[in-house]
Chain A
Amino acid sequence: MSQESDLYFEYSTNEKIAMEVAAAAANCGVRSMCVMKHVGVNVAADALMTLAYVGVKGGMVIVSADDPFMFSSQNEQDNRFYAKMSGLPMVEPSSVEEAKELVSYAFELSEKLNEPVLFRTTTRINHSTGIVTLGKIRERVTQGDFVKDPLNLVTVPAVARKLHVKLLEKYDKAQELAETSEYNFITGKGKWGIICNGVSYNYVRDAINDLNIEDKVKVLRMGFSHPLPAQRIKSFLKACEKVLMIEEGEPYMEEAVKAFAQEEGLTLEIKGKAKDLFSRLYEYDPGQVRKCIAKYFGFKYTPTEVVDTADVPPVPQRPPTLCAGCSHRATYYEIRKAAEGMQTIFPTDIGCYTLGLLPPLSTADFLLCMGSSVGTSGGFSKVTDKKVVAFIGDSTFFHAGIPGLVNAVYNNHNFTLVVLDNGTTAMTGHQPHPGVDMTQLKLEGYGRVSIEAVVKAIGVQYVTVIKPYKVKKSIEAIKEALNFQGVSVIISEEPCALYAKALKLPQRKPFRISEKCKDHRDCINHLACPAFYIWDEKVNIDPNLCTGCALCAQICPENAILPVKATA
């Protein structure tokens, strides 16, 4: 983005910093946006809650995506509550095209209210493709100015007390705007009502079409959903005999709508989250929404005839796994070898390496959030006698690992932290981080932070760097680090195999199983590398998948795994 336009773009070290960078730019009158996943807002929440008090001068939009069903997340928290908690306005698109329209609306809204606007999406919208009509992009302002105004911008208690009053005034103004916003609209007619938001609106539209009930049920779609337009909702309720709330996640709107009904003394039935209707769990789908609408309002409904799967044998699982030639596999194997005979706890962190949880590697025992490997290690090591070995990736180390390590040195905890440094943010698609050599990406003007230097500067007394594809040497180095009393850090350095390929770094030759193989199967059983397969009762290596890391060759008791000959 930064290369293709005059917009400034950065990968910030974590979400709190991203929000702070964007907040400062917006306070200089420059439009800014920060983008993160739902749990990222937890990291940024400290900045967010007070930014709501301080407000902005130029438009600021905070985009975050919830992940109902947890396709690739550790929880399915509903970030709409951040709007409620912060008092900030929130918009929610239902489709790709609307998302595009809503971004400029959100910026205008932000500038009208002098507040950042929360732009809440979900995985399903972000992973959708649709046709959008492009408009004109307005002239960009990329330089601003900061005007000193400490009595409104420095949130000491006396200032903050005043700012909270202002926030509530802005809240009222926002609610007025929500009352007339084109993104809160009603379709259809009839005595029954549906109130919905986000992707659910698409399922509602399709269901109404399928059930042919356009003249029986009207729909209030909320796109400007915080503050909720009280008057709009109340008049909608007054025109309904019963109302169904359709929203993925928590009953965020349902609770508010019920409160509005109470204020008006309305006794109509309002339901949403219920055992026989909608769940707080997971993602909704069109069939489920159609069924619930038909059931709640008593429409005739023919359920979809799904094929009978009773006689289908269980299909073997295909869980995501560490890639062929992934350096994490080597490190995990070596840690297990070096820790043989020890009772261990393996706190882990967020990244590809979390996939070490499955056997045979089994190197993940506890996980909360980014950085939790380091913090929880302190707790585990204080209250148990077990050897605590924690794993964190390079990107996650910068994101949230450093304060935990400082804490461990200061409080004299006793554990080994393994930094799995593969030179990129691998899991999410090779985004750079402060430890990355940006010249490899042909990008100039960046600094670079050494993990080893940071760890040493923090005061860790035992620091060792290993090259995980050198198995014997690594195991010895790990053993020493594990025996150290206090905080020890092992940095395991080897580029991500996929990243190395993408960068066109020199590739190694693939390996093959030679006739010396006596079928011990240590390779397959201890490493579970996806380049291996069994054919005709024999172990084989797929040369198209093998990256030549030689890990298997070093652990084969018969030395039967050899490089593929150039001529072969």
Chain B
Amino acid sequence: METKRLVVVAVGGQGNLLASSVLGEAALLSGIPLHMSEIHGMAQRGGVVESALVFGDASSTIISDGEADILVGFEPAETLRAINKCNASTVVITNLAPLMPFTVNIGQGVYPDLKNLQELIRNKAAKLIAFNAADLAKEAGNVLAVNMVLLGALIQTGVLPLSEEDVKKAMKRKTKQQFLQSNLKAFDLGYSAAAETA
């Protein structure tokens, strides 16, 4: 089976680990071999969470620079920071709603211009799908569902060997019952947003 490598980057609290666990469950449901790992050292304290998911025939649970088939960033600056994981064939999906690092708030850094950021990524990767996932999460009735919006966009690209159906089944198993409806709606909104970009 062809190997597909997905890198997901997010800020602590954005639900990267839940999204990864949904993908893991979906892979299990579809019988796709999956190896994954995440580093979330001090993420609860505002740091970055990076997950690596390797689908198909491979043993590693880590993805080297330039080797991601698809990069999903839950936060625009974090997407840009992880651009070294990409090559010219990589598909990049990014949320466009920034979460200001406090270093910027106290004047120790400048947040990248969003237009310029998209331009840079578009020029380097095969394709960029960029939209405001926070707005879509709100529309779905759950501001915390940014992760599910991006999951929808991810599945729409068809890069991963996972069906929409299996991912939704996995969402039912892995996400809280009380949020399931809004999560499914968030997924659909993300799916459509990615389809429109295409």
Give A residues with C-beta under 8 Å from B.
71-72, 94-95, 123-124, 127-131, 199, 201-203, 205-206, 209, 283, 285-288, 304-309, 311-323, 352, 355, 360, 427, 429, 498, 524-525, 528-530, 532-534
- Asked if B163 CB lies within 8 Å of chain A CBs, one says no
Let me know if A530 and B46 touch, CB within 8 A. Answer: yes
Let me know if A128 and B35 touch, CB within 8 A. Answer: yes
Report the nearest B residue to A127, measured CB to CB: B37
- Asked if B198 CB lies within 8 Å of chain A CBs, one says no
Let me know if A305 and B37 touch, CB within 8 A. Answer: no
19 A-B pairs (CB sep. < 8 Å) = A95-B35, A130-B34, A202-B61, A203-B60, A206-B59, A305-B87, A306-B65, A307-B83, A307-B88, A312-B83, A313-B110, A313-B112, A314-B109, A316-B77, A316-B111, A319-B47, A321-B46, A355-B42, A530-B102
How far, in angstroms, from A492 to B37 measured CA to CA in the complex?
38
Let me know if B105 and A524 touch, CB within 8 A. Answer: yes
In order of increasing CB-CB distance, the 7 nearest A-B pairs are A316-B109, A287-B64, A306-B66, A320-B42, A320-B45, A202-B59, A304-B66
Let me know if A321 and B37 touch, CB within 8 A. Answer: no
Q: Which residues of A contact B108 (CB under 8 A)?
A: 316-317
Let me know if B65 and A124 touch, CB within 8 A. Answer: no
Which residues of B (96-115) have their CB < 8 Å from a CB of A?
100-106, 108-112
Let me know if B87 and A131 touch, CB within 8 A. Answer: no
CB distance from A73 to the nearest CB of B (A): 9
CB distance from B134 to the nearest CB of A (A): 12
Q: Which residues of A contact B111 (CB under 8 A)?
A: 316
How far, in angstroms, from A319 to B46 measured CA to CA in the complex?
7
Q: Which residues of B contact A123 (CB under 8 A)?
A: 39
- Asked if B24 CB lies within 8 Å of chain A CBs, one says yes
Q: Decide yes or no: A304 and B65 within 8 Å by CB, A315-B80, A320-B41, A530-B102 being known contacts.
A: yes
Partner of B45, one of A130, A202, A285, A323: A323
Partner of A307, one of B24, B38, B43, B124: B124
Let me know if B124 and A308 touch, CB within 8 A. Answer: yes
Report the nearest B residue to A303, measured CB to CB: B66
How far, in angstroms, from A521 to B84 measured CA to CA in the complex?
36
Encode B20-43 as 1/0 by CB contact (under 8 A) with A: 110010001000011111111111
CB distance from A310 to the nearest CB of B (A): 11
Number of interface residues of B (CB under 8 A): 58
Give B residues with C-beta under 8 Å from A.
11, 20-21, 24, 28, 33-48, 57-67, 77-78, 80-81, 83-84, 86-88, 90, 100-106, 108-112, 116, 120, 124-125
How far, in angstroms, from A529 to B46 measured CA to CA in the complex?
11
Q: Which residues of B contact A313 (CB under 8 A)?
A: 110, 112, 116
Q: Decide yes or no: A71 and B102 within 8 Å by CB, A206-B59, A315-B77 being known contacts.
A: no
How far, in angstroms, from A127 to B43 measured CA to CA in the complex?
14
CB distance from B94 to the nearest CB of A (A): 13
Report the nearest B residue to A95, measured CB to CB: B59
Report the nearest B residue to A530, measured CB to CB: B102
Partner of B66, one of A203, A307, A317: A307
CB distance from A563 to the nearest CB of B (A): 21
Partner of B64, one of A205, A304, A317: A304
Q: Which residues of A contact B125 (CB under 8 A)?
A: 307
Given contacts A129-B38, A304-B66, A305-B88, 16 further A-B contacts (CB under 8 A): A95-B61, A128-B35, A131-B33, A199-B61, A202-B61, A209-B58, A286-B63, A304-B87, A305-B87, A306-B84, A307-B87, A312-B120, A320-B43, A323-B44, A323-B45, A528-B105
CB distance from A315 to the nearest CB of B (A): 4
Chain A contact residues, majority secondary structure? loop
Q: Decide yes or no: A304 and B41 within 8 Å by CB, A285-B62, A309-B84, A318-B46 being known contacts.
A: no
How far, in angstroms, from A314 to B103 measured CA to CA in the complex?
13
Q: Which residues of A contact B106 (CB under 8 A)?
A: 360, 524-525, 528
How far, in angstroms, from A314 to B84 measured CA to CA in the complex?
13
Let me know if B65 and A287 touch, CB within 8 A. Answer: yes
How far, in angstroms, from A533 to B80 measured CA to CA in the complex?
21
CB distance from B7 to the nearest CB of A (A): 12
How far, in angstroms, from A286 to B35 measured CA to CA in the complex?
13
Partner of A318, one of B41, B60, B84, B101: B101
How far, in angstroms, from A379 to B44 measured CA to CA in the complex?
34
CB distance from A109 to the nearest CB of B (A): 25
Report the nearest B residue to A318, measured CB to CB: B101
CB distance from B34 to the nearest CB of A (A): 7
Partner of A533, one of B57, B100, B112: B100
Partner of A322, one of B11, B45, B47, B57: B45
Report the nearest B residue to A94, measured CB to CB: B59
Q: Which residues of B contact A304 (CB under 8 A)?
A: 64-67, 87
CB distance from A222 to the nearest CB of B (A): 16
Let me know if A317 and B101 touch, CB within 8 A. Answer: yes
CB distance from A320 to the nearest CB of B (A): 4
How far, in angstroms, from A305 to B64 measured CA to CA in the complex?
11
How far, in angstroms, from A225 to B84 measured CA to CA in the complex?
35
Q: Which residues of B contact A124 (CB under 8 A)?
A: 37, 61-62
Partner of B78, one of A285, A318, A360, A530: A318
How far, in angstroms, from A528 to B45 measured CA to CA in the complex?
13
How far, in angstroms, from A17 to B73 measured CA to CA in the complex?
43
